[in-house]
Structure 1
Amino acid sequence: MEPKKNPQQDLNKKSSLYFVFGLLLVLAMVFVALEWKTYDNVYDFDIGLNKVDKTIIEEAPIFELEIIQPPKPPILPTEIEIVEDNDPIVETIIETTEATTDTEILEASNIEVIDIPDDLEVIWTTIEEVPIFPGCENEKDKRACFNDMMQKHIRTNFRYPELAQEMGQQGRVNTQFMINKDGSIGTIKKRGPHELLESEAVRILSKLPKMTPGKQRGTAVKVSFSIPITFKLQ
């Protein structure tokens, strides 16, 4: 029986070879596709556009800034300067009372009796017996002891008003107070640079203790005493 096809024209003989070539071709296409790279277009700019024309003159605006002052630092504790009483001293001339041959003898009707009024006021420098500050009863120089105790009392009770410190108020307050006939503290007068400092000076003097009253001719009288209190910021 003769075959229907020519053996030389049989395509199945080379099918495996064609398969290998096709497979290589596909692999090559896949490799090229995976390794394919693209790049962005490069644009060239003319840097001449960035050059500034020197003929053009521009004036920059001027701004004025307000300087804010920093807050004031806290005020440190202050020192108090105590000034002793510097009122002028008025000398009292005491004439002798001893009788001599030239002494005129007066009749009883000619004797003038001087009564010391109840509201008599004597200043510190002319009082015969000064008021006695508590603690000075046994001291010989009661005036000096009185001044020392006054300074100690002011230093102990001194408080600089905080508001006066913030306002920068300082200066000397001249004060004058009355020691009544019973030894209590009476009217207090003050004069200073600010009412806050005056109020503090009055507060200090109002805390003075009761004293032994001063005497004039053996009778208790009112005695006025002056002392300045200085408020000084450091």
Structure 2
Amino acid sequence: MNFSISGLQFGAGMLLLSAFIIGIILFLKHRISSTSISKKGSNHLTKKYAEADVFKSSGTFWRVGLVSAVFVAILAFSWTTYERDIFIPDYNLSFDELEIQTPPTVQREKKLPPPPPPPPVIEVTDEPTEEPPIFTDQTVTNQVSNQVAKPTTKKTPLVKKTLPIVPKSKEPNIEELHYIVEEMPLFPGCEGIGNYETEKACADKKMLEFIYKNIKYPTIARENNVEGTAVISFVVEKDGSITNATIIRDPGAGCGAESLRVVELMNKLPQRWIPGQQGNQNVRVQFNLPVRFRLDK
């Protein structure tokens, strides 16, 4: 037989047992003290009377003590303490996206370097360049010589200036992250039971059962009466795995860390999530899961 009692019931049982034992003691004391010795003689002090023999009730005392010990043991083993439940409201099934305000991103204008100066234009001409004539001093040679140098033609080669080739940077292939798609990801365990709406209702129920089974109210939060809602953000990848699990709201005292631990346990399930679909293709979808911690008062 399996039954449980509360602390109040345990205390009441102990009081009843104490009253029962005290009653037996008083009854036996009164019975022994009221026993009268009808015969008096010279040897009445050394004679042992059956009415005043306290050892004849030793068997009764032993049985009462045994019954009392068994009764106390049963009460002790049946004393049950109940932990306070963790309440997850039904509105969590909608998985509404929480609006978290972030400061606007200030885009700094990139200063472009000044354009390089245009290459110098060098023109090649075929016209001869005449050099001035060279004259000699008449006082030295006493001869007048008008020596005129023959015109010479010089061609200047055209210099081509080439600019360095800057390689194009390859942008990383980052897949788009979705928040609302045609078919949202589903918790595993309800595949093929019907249409999408039926599978979604079943998957939400399975996920709540998983959270109830694995989550524990933190001891520090229970002792300090900490309540609140922890929100965990995570991404369901195209293969159904859970990544980027982070705490975006934490009431404190370990509630956020406990919720994050349970979400990360989903990757250890035998089956992965059913990924979300957009246009008959698997896509990455971000989830915000609120878990409310509430103490029963």
TM-score, L = length of structure 2: 0.40
Q: Match for residue 87 of structure 1?
A: 96
Q: For the residues of structure 2 that align with 1:171 and 1:204, how far apart are their CA atoms?
A: 17
**Does the alignment pair 1:121 with 2:177?**
yes
1:177–1:224 contact (8 Å) kept in structure 2: yes
Alignment partner, residue 66 of structure 2: none
1:135 aligns with 2:189: yes
In structure 1, the partner of 2:250 is 192
Structure 2 counterpart of 1:155: 212
How far residue 218 of structure 1 moved from its aligned partner, in angstroms, is 2.0
Q: C-alpha offsets along residues 176-195 of structure 1, whole Å, 9 cap, x if unaligned? A: 22111111111123212105
2:263 maps to a residue whose letter is L
In 2, are the aligned partners of 1:130 and 1:215 still within 8 Å (CA)?
A: yes
SS of 2:275's partner is coil
Query: Bigger relative contact order, structure 1 or 2, given CA contacts below 8 A and separation 6+?
Result: 1
Choose the corresponding residue for 1:226, options 248, 267, 288: 288
Distance 2:286 2:260 in 1: 15
> Hey, what does 1:207 align to over in structure 2?
265
CA RMSD, aligned part only? Answer: 2.3
Secondary structure at the aligned position of 1:80 is classed as coil
Which AA in structure 1 matches 2:257? S
Displacement of 1:118 in angstroms is 5.2
Unaligned runs of at least 5 residues, structure 2: 1-80, 98-172
Residue type of the partner of 1:165?
A: R
CA distance in 1, matches of 2:282, 2:220: 41
Q: Secondary structure at the match of 2:292?
A: strand
Identical pairs, percent: 31
Letter aligned with residue 135 of structure 1:
G
What is the CA–CA distance in structure 2 between the aligned matches of 1:79 and 1:170, rounded to whole Å? 12
Are the structure 2 counterparts of residues 192 and 76 from structure 1 closer, same or farther at C-alpha, using a change threshold of 3 Å? farther
Q: Given the superposition, is the C-alpha separation of residues 219 and 185 from structure 1 closer, same or farther in structure 2, using an over 3 Å criterion?
A: same
- Render the CA deviation track for 1:70-127: whole Å, top value 9, x for unaligned: xxxxx95122222323527xxxxxxxxxxxxxxxxxxxxxxxxxxxx7521122xx31
Partner of 1:188, secondary structure, is strand
Instruction: Give the whole-Å Cα distance in 2 for the aligned partners of 1:224 and 1:86.
Output: 10
Quote the Cα distance in structure 2 between the aligned partners of 1:135 and 1:78.
Answer: 28
Q: Partner letter of residue 134 of structure 1? A: P
| Bigger Rg over Cα | 1
Cα pair distance change 1:207/1:177, threshold 3 Å: same
| 1:195–1:166 CA distance, 2 compared to 1 (3 A) | closer
* TM-score normalised according to structure 1 size: 0.50
